[in-house]
Amino acid sequence: MNKPLILVVEDDSTVRNLITTTLKSNDYRYISAPNGESAISNASSQQPDIVLLDLGLPDMDGVEIIKRIRSWSQIPIIVISARSEDADKIAALDAGADDYLTKPFSVAELLARLRVTQRRLAALGNTNAESVFRNGKLTIDYGAGCAYLEDSSLKLTPTEYKILCLLAKNAGKVLTHTYLTDKIWGSSWESDMASLRVHMATLRKKLEKNQDTQYIQTHIGIGYRMLKNE
Ligand code: CA
């Protein structure tokens, strides 16, 4: 069995080193991210098995990261934070965190929580492998984080992939601009709307290239919808 890959999100290098050293000596593989931006891009491009997440980060609040990751992935997220108030724990758990560890934490406890999470994943079986979406010639393998058109893999950027997953999970329904930008960037500024249009255009080009099947329908002034194809 492959060693689990853990994404460690922590801006404090001392704590980060403590965690990564612990993981390394306990047979885990890891990648680390010192801020929210790299946490999100690593979570989508590296497909880690578990995320260990600090909440106080320089560029973004950890709760925001949980919300963003949850918009496209069910990967287990364990929060490791100095915030010990119930309200903070509730906010993180409500946003979709699986577990919450308060700093200072014991290494033994962290390892125990990782084992519990792994057992839970094992009990669920390889559910990711089964979660495949099909629509006409389009296939999305959520577990692998890949999309295909017929047999060829679509080369999508992380943002295009997120948009595609959001549309696919709501196929047939119109998703508003605000809903999409909020799920993708956590905000709905005019600049986000402009970015959405750009990403949507490039995604659509890749999806609808060389064929007459239409996958994404534009509802002017409202949003976008994935059409169902036979
Ligand atoms: Ca911090």
Nearest to 119 by CA among 49, 20, 18, 46: 49
CA of 128 to the centre of ligand 1 (A): 31
The pLDDT tens digits of the residues spanning 53-80 come to: 999 999 999 999 999 998 888 899 999 9
pLDDT recorded at residue 129: 42
3-state secondary structure the chain: CCCCEEEEECCCHHHHHHHHHHHHHCCCEEEEECCHHHHHHHHHHCCCCEEEECCECCCCEHHHHHHHHHCCCCCCEEEEECCCCHHHHHHHHHHCCCEEEECCCCHHHHHHHHHHHHHHHHHCCCHHHHCEEEECCEEEECCCCEEEECCEECCCCHHHHHHHHHHHHCCCCEEEHHHHHHHHHCCCCHHHHHHHHHHHHHHHHHHCCCCCCCCEEEECCCEEEECCCC
The CB density around residue 166, as the number of other CB atoms within 10 Å, is 18
CA of 148 to the centre of ligand 1 (A): 38
The CB density around residue 99, as the number of other CB atoms within 10 Å, is 18
Q: Given the structure tokens 């659509």, which residue do they identify?
A: 204
In whole angstroms, give the CA distance from residue 91 to residue 100: 11
CA of 55 to the centre of ligand 1 (A): 6
Query: Residues with beta carbon < 5 A to ion ligand 1?
Result: 11, 54, 56
Is residue 45 within 8 A of residue 101, CB to CB? The reply is: no
Query: What tens-digit pLDDT sequence spans the chain (230 residues)?
Result: 568 999 999 999 999 999 999 999 999 999 999 999 999 999 988 889 999 999 999 999 999 999 999 888 889 999 999 999 999 999 999 999 999 999 999 999 999 999 999 888 877 655 444 478 899 999 998 877 889 998 888 999 888 999 999 999 899 999 999 999 988 888 888 888 899 999 999 999 999 886 778 899 999 999 999 999 88
In whole angstroms, give the CA distance from residue 97 to residue 74: 10
Is residue 196 within 8 A of residue 184, CB to CB? The reply is: yes
Nearest to 162 by CA among 175, 172, 149: 175
pTM of the prediction? Answer: 0.60
Which two three-digit tokens encode residue 95? 């946003």
CA of 118 to the centre of ligand 1 (A): 25
pLDDT recorded at residue 47: 87
Nearest to 102 by CA among 128, 88, 84: 84
Q: At residue 84, what is the residue type?
A: S
pLDDT recorded at residue 124: 66
CA of 52 to the centre of ligand 1 (A): 12
Nearest to 96 by CA among 121, 122, 68, 124: 68
